[in-house]
Amino acid sequence: MNEKDSFIKICKISNLPEKKGVRVEIREHDLAIFKIENEVFVISNICPHNHTSQMFNGHLNNYSISCPVHSWIFDLRTGKTLSNNSNIKTYETKVEDDYLYVKIPKSFFKW
């Protein structure tokens, strides 16, 4: 593990709703978490288009999420856009004993 990054325990996987987004804020990171058929995906909750914190409220279609504000579509597995050239940040995850851990980069700046 990189010294600048660390995995943080978020929640129990069994407590996450199926095919519905959950918003979590960790440090300065605003996350959207999705569970689809027992796979968990974590992306930035901030849409790169309009910078609103609404991705957790987006419309799921298989492994894609569309922003509820302007309908930009992103692949949850890769963060790549399906509708333009702006990608969304994805976060590395791991699961241990039914708990979700997310790798959160440490802040570069300390204000």
Rounded to whole angstroms, the Cα distance separating 59 from 56 reads: 9
Does the domain at residues 5-105 carry the CATH identifier 2.102.10.10?
A: yes
Distance, CA of 88 to CA of 31 (rounded, Å)? 11
Give the pLDDT of the chain (111 residues) as one tens digit per residue: 444 468 999 999 999 999 999 999 998 899 999 999 989 999 999 999 888 899 999 999 999 999 999 889 999 999 999 877 889 999 999 999 999 999 998 765 555
The reported pTM is 0.88
Which residue in the block uniquely carries the two structure tokens 């849409």?
A: 47
